[in-house]
């Protein structure tokens, strides 16, 4: 907490993330709660990185929704609705380690319901491309 409080990140902000995880225990997880979790994670991480971007919220939602769709094979959680707002947007270099997760989520959205294995050369190329150019999709 000694690193978080000076940057304006409270325990309450961290606790709000939990609700997005808790819904995964429900028979029918709430898509909005999952999306909010991603939004909050990206917001907090961006504060720690000392950077901001208006497109972080949709990138965080995209990541969280597609992560659940990928890991739990839940097509109803599919994140394709988040793609249009991110097309062509370039993220600042400081944010790219964070937004790289959203870049991989874009690959998953485009290939869904096929599940590409982790650590494939194509996923590595997507990460390198994002690192260099900062675009997601």
Q: How confident is the model over 3-31, as pLDDT tens digits?
A: 788 888 888 999 999 999 999 999 889 99
Provide the number of structural domains found in the chain.
1
Q: Is 46 helix (H, G, I), strand (E, B) or coil?
A: helix
**Nearest 5°: phi and psi at 90?**
-110, 125
Instruction: Return the structure tokens found at 21.
Output: 């995880």
pLDDT digits (tens, 9 = 90+) for 36-77: 999 999 999 999 999 999 999 999 999 999 998 888 766 666
Residue-range definition of the domain harbouring residue 13: 5-133
What global pTM score does this model have?
A: 0.90
């Amino acid at each position: 907490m000694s690193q978080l409080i000076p940057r304006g990140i409270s325990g309450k902000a961290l606790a709000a993330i939990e609700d997005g995880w808790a819904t995964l225990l429900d028979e029918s997880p709430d898509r909005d709660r999952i999306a909010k979790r991603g939004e909050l994670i990206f917001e907090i991480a961006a504060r720690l990185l000392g950077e901001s971007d208006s497109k972080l919220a949709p990138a965080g939602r995209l990541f969280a929704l597609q992560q659940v769709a990928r890991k739990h094979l839940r097509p109803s959680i599919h994140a394709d609705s988040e793609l249009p707002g991110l097309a062509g947007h370039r993220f600042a270099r400081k944010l790219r380690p964070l937004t790289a997760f959203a870049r991989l989520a874009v690959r998953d959205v485009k290939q869904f319901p096929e599940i590409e294995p982790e650590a494939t050369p194509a996923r590595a190329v997507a990460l390198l491309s994002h690192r260099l150019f900062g675009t997601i999709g």
